[in-house]
Amino acid sequence: MKRLLNHFKFRFHQSFRLLNLNPRAGVPVLIILGVLIIMKLPESYYYPFLFFILTLLFHYERKDIPFLKKVFVKSWRLIIVLEAAIIYGILLCGNIHYQLEKTALLSLPMLLLLAFVTPRSKPWLALQWNFIPDDLFEWKSFLRKNTWLAALGLILIWGSSYHPIVLILAGTFVLDYISHIYEPNENKEMLEMYFKKYTLKEKLRRNSLFFNILLLPTYCLFLIFNTAESLYILYYFVFMNLYVILILTRKYKQYHYKEKNNYYNIGVFIEYTLCCMTIIPAVFLLKNNIKEASQNIKTYVGD
């Protein structure tokens, strides 16, 4: 019993330590938890089904089964069930709209099955994204490495269309992750080959077009749900596109063939976000970025 209590105490501290050591992963986790707390579904019996699926996904993604087998040689399956039951219970009790009913109690025995469900050992949803043109190599590389994260991000963005404030907040949150798409620098040979075929303005236009194709469902859903507040989607369009173009021009403004990345950080994110929110400063900053990026590209490619 003492070992069991120490284990759950360790899990409790481990959760906070992971959030503290990895804020980039911690922020979305906290946002998702906040949404799960305030989310209201049409019927109470929907909650147990949804939270059971989330508990199953958590179990399917875990990597600590060998650790549990080593520490709890004979009872590791019991630990899996107990941890799943605690997570399931916290999700149910944490939602402010849920009222206890028989579906939750009837679903508890199903948690026993998790002890016999093997977590995945290889990435899933790892698509090749070959339909994306090679000139959008930043997006193609990111999506190949982060298919699951990209899918969650798209769901978050599309789902945010139901309310104007949520739309802006979710967009701002996602922009930080989009910034990392353009953080790595391609090698000198690739840069020369690319810009002998395309101009910087063509690259901006093609990347902006692809970005807006991804956001198209958000635009349409917002206009359906909030027809009377259509000006918000216009502001959202300008805000999101200005930021993406700024971060892309910054990449080539900062580019140096000896550097592997352009050192994006939270300071850049805050500066560009504030500029894009007020729009006018972003326009002047963009003009300067394009000028300096074009000059920098010429040093490698020539006229």
- Sign (positive/negative) of CA torsion 64, 30, 171, 250? negative
Euclidean distance between CA atoms 103 and 46, whole angstroms: 9
Nearest partner of 266 among 173, 186, 204, judged by Cα: 173
Euclidean distance between CA atoms 296 and 185, whole angstroms: 13
User: What does DSSP assign to residue 221?
Assistant: H
- The strand pairing partners of 184, in sequence order, are 261
Amino acid occupying residue 205: R
Euclidean distance between CA atoms 168 and 233, whole angstroms: 9
Q: What is the pLDDT of residue 200?
A: 95
φ and ψ at residue 184, rounded to 5 degrees: -70, 145
Radius of gyration of the chain (CA): 23
Q: What is the pLDDT of residue 184?
A: 94
Q: Is 303 exposed, middle or buried (0-12, 13-18, 19+ CB in 10 A)?
A: exposed
Specify whether the CB–CB gap between 114 and 82 falls below 8 A: no
Q: For every one of its 303 residues, what pLDDT tens digit does the chain have, with 9 covering 90 and above?
A: 788 888 888 888 887 776 666 655 566 677 677 778 888 877 888 888 888 888 887 787 777 888 888 888 888 888 888 998 999 999 888 988 888 888 888 888 888 888 887 766 555 555 678 889 999 999 999 988 888 778 878 888 888 888 888 898 888 888 988 999 999 999 999 999 999 999 999 999 999 999 999 999 999 999 999 989 999 999 999 999 999 999 999 999 999 999 999 988 888 888 999 999 999 999 999 999 999 999 999 999 876
Q: What is the pLDDT of residue 25?
A: 58
Q: What is the pLDDT of residue 57?
A: 76
Give the distance, in angstroms, between the CA of residue 242 and the centroid of all CA atoms in the same chain. Answer: 20
Specify whether the CB–CB gap between 142 and 181 falls below 8 A: yes
pTM higher than 0.75: no
- Sign (positive/negative) of CA torsion 147, 151, 157, 158? positive
